[in-house]
Amino acid sequence: MVTPTIPTDTSTASHNLRTRHRPWLESLSKNTNTLLLMVAAAALTVSFVSIVLPMLSGGPLQSDGRQNMAGVRGGPSVEEFTQQQRPAKSKDVVEVVDLEHEELFRATIKSCVNEVSEHDKFDKDPNYKLKCKEFIPDPLDPTEHKIQRVAVITPPGDISVGILSLSESIMYKHNHLKERKLQPNIELIPRNNVPPYGYGKTHGLTKIIRIVPQPLLLEVTNALQVSLQPNETHKVITLQDLTATLRMMLRFHCRLSHVAAHTSILSVNFLDLFANKLVVQERLEAFLTPHEILRKEMEQGDDDGAFDAADDAVDDEKRNSLFDRQESFGTDILTHIRDTYHVDVNKVMDDVLMHELNTTKNLSVWPCPSFFAVGDPDPYDLGPLVRRIAEAMAPDCDDPLASCFVKRDKCEAAGDGPCQGKPKEMANAKGR
């Protein structure tokens, strides 16, 4: 139907034209108003369904219709946290997200704890052992007292900032108890080196805390980021660097899970530091100060409030800002690799993950494969960036409280991936 044209003059013809079409115009006006009311009502309905109803029912709905419940003590769940922290990005970037089979990696993580917090249900979890050795080495200076050496072991990067802050708070309270101290003081040791194979007397540690990455790629890209030279940018990183670093991260956790067969190790999921911080703190207290009497005394003895601020030293804004920076740099790396090599980066990395899990029987082979044999196609052909990361994570056989007697450890300390030389040759190889 042709829309009538309404003249603007005041002639009789014009008047007759407006009069003839008045019923149509009135109808159009009424229909338009009705349509606007219907659109407004629909918008209100959508808002009510998507916002108000989930709040009334206990949590937002996920894409599959399941309710996403909040975390412990009213905090967000891990899924909620990651959604909140990840602003909408351009579709033209590769985001740092979980790999397709990443849960298979996390299922390999082993821990060993002598006492658990009320939030831990390890009795039915085969990955948790409940009787662990806690070796307290004799001090190098015989005039000094024994001390608990607790290592926070992570690959190169800054993902350990949150766990270190919480652990330092607990250490401070424990070390400043005035009476009835049931355990020696704690020394917190941040490090990247994996412990040498063997029991406590070989690695010289009482307990170990490790962070389980999620997403796994965040640990990979964070290690690459901090290992760049001052004059380098993410554009020097190659696809071979990226896949090799993923292999190293998997072997790093393989090593720590082997140590968990006898040494006390607590494994903390990285995202729990954001989504369930209070739960993580309670787990750390149960791990670092396992005697209930001691913990109660700590709570009662902290009357001066001197360290209250350290209980939350890494506040939400700083932690979230750190997470955003790590994720942003990871996105830059992954997008650069995609654009340079024209590959599906997440698919390539997931294939590397599955190959490593299959060839190591889910990271259970002993000894774990070498950090210096992660190249592709030649496993021993490593770029300088990858070699720096491998050297940072290799056992420190020069530690006066540790000893390397397993051949693999001597090879790793010397940067010898093939591990075919004699011990003397391997010792001389270090620093080449």
Domain residues of the chain, as ranges? 1-69, 73-359
* The pLDDT of residue 180: 56
- Kindly report, residue by residue over 274-290, the tens digit of the pLDDT: 888 889 988 998 888 87
Please list the rounded mean pLDDT of every run of 10 residues in the chain (432 residues). Answer: 42 41 44 54 53 45 37 47 50 91 96 64 48 77 84 92 87 77 84 88 89 95 95 96 98 95 92 87 87 56 46 59 86 97 97 97 95 95 96 94 91 92 46 36
Q: Give the C-alpha separation, 356 to 250, whole Å.
A: 8
Residue 357's identity, in one-letter code, is L
Q: Give the C-alpha separation, 17 to 333, whole Å.
A: 69
- In terms of Cβ atoms closer than 10 Å to its own Cβ (0-12, 13-18, 19+), residue 189 is middle
**Residue 34 backbone dihedrals phi, psi, to 5 degrees:** -60, -40
Alpha helices in 227-315 (DSSP H): 239-259, 272-275, 277-288, 292-301
* The pLDDT of residue 156: 95
Q: Give the C-alpha separation, 182 to 32, whole Å.
A: 80
Q: Give the C-alpha separation, 135 to 199, whole Å.
A: 8
Task: Give, as one character, the DSSP assignment of residue 67.
Answer: B
**Residue environment code for 380-406, b if the CB has 16+ CB neighbours within 10 A, otherwise e:** eebeebbbbbbbbbbbbbebebbebeb
* The pLDDT of residue 2: 43
Residue 80's identity, in one-letter code, is E
* The pLDDT of residue 360: 96
Q: Give the C-alpha separation, 97 to 334, whole Å.
A: 11
Residue 84: CB atoms within 10 A of its CB come to: 12
Q: Are strands 207-212 and 186-191 parallel, antiparallel or unpaired?
A: unpaired
Candidates 311, 315, 318; CA nearest to 169 is: 311
Task: Give, as one character, the DSSP assignment of residue 145.
Answer: P
Residue 174's identity, in one-letter code, is H
